[in-house]
Amino acid sequence: MNKRTIGILTGGGDCPGLNAVIRGVTKTADKFGISVLGFHDGFLGMIEKRFDMLSFERVSGILTQGGTILGSSNTASPFEHVIAEGGQTRKIDVSQQCMELYRDLGLDALICVGGDGTLTIGGRFAEMGANIVGVPKTIDKDLMETDTTFGFDSAMVTATEAIDKLHTTAAAHHRVILVEVMGRNAGWLALESGIAGGGDVILIPEIPYDIELIAASIRRRSRFGRKFSIVVVSEGAMPIGGTQVVAKILADRPDPVRLGGISHVIADQLEKMTDLECRVTVLGHLQRGGTPSPIDRLLATRFGVKAVELVITRNFNQMVALHGIEMQSVPIQNVMGKQKKVPLDSPLIQVALSVGTTFGAPLDMSLRG
């Protein structure tokens, strides 16, 4: 009987904990006599046929490393592969060639580690006949059907530590400091780091803001002797009746819109409205880097072990998920093309309101219930 082989790839933006998943998958598979083949740079490795075998020894010592030893790509999609011809680019579908490689390698399953884009591509391969197991990764925590994703806690720790440090300089110079965090269209990272860091104002995409209400809150703090304020801004935040601030459009990407810059817009407005000096700190890719937190190491390892268990039991086309304290699985189709946003009745919003945080919205009072 031939030795079983599974593939693994890490797609989308990198985050702390990816190596912990790779380690968890490889060491668990080794225990059951299963070989693991790693594709380099996400789905680009399948497209370009770049891969190698992962061994127990190869993954030893990578638990605490950030990034991914396999590399990643947030631009590669076999269904929309960009090629250059005659000085121009066009997109072609090479998914069938990837399926042929999957079969030629004799893979028993392919473990796709990533966010909504990666898992949507994995789901499409499942529809083509591949045995897919998804592992939820994103610092945005915006994947459906799982309580959380690995990478989020590490990013929240980074954002919270930044807010903590900015508090002291804001107080020393009597400034308003805006801290812009990632999150795309979901406000989880801004909300949770804002609460943990004691943000005075938290702006998230789910609650469009009124700049007048933000300014009034900051002026009120100043009148009562708090001559500084911390405003935690999700990159996807927008004013009531307005739109998100787009940093750039990358037409050749699966997700062409890159958000960013909203905090600079708000800072300019607040300086004029409050006569207080405003400064902006955009955390950017700091949130993706560094050593994974203990929580993410544990979660990523549990996800990796569960993914191999699904392969062994031939429970394919599933995504591993955390429900409460239990590791479970959900159909990957339930995740494809969806985003989990902060609900307006979230207990976290109530907590923030209870300690005096404002969301810069006329809903603030009604949100209190």
Which residues lie across from 328 on neighbouring strands? 321
Q: What is the 3-state secondary structure (H, E, C) of 185-214?
A: CCCHHHHHHHHHCCCCEEECCCCCECHHHH
Identify which of 22, 112, 53, 8 has the alpha carbon closest to the alpha carbon of residue 301. 22
CA distances in angstroms from 301 to 65, 150, 178, 202, listed in the order given: 13, 10, 35, 32
Q: Are strands 81-85 and 88-92 parallel, antiparallel or unpaired?
A: antiparallel
* Annotated catalytic residue within 140, 142, 200, 364: 140
Please name the residue that has the structure tokens 């400034």.
175
Which residues lie across from 54 on neighbouring strands? 36
Helix ranges (DSSP H) in 206-312: 211-223, 262-274, 294-312
Whole-number Å distance between alpha carbons of 293 and 64: 8
Is 252 catalytic? The answer is no
Active site residues: 140
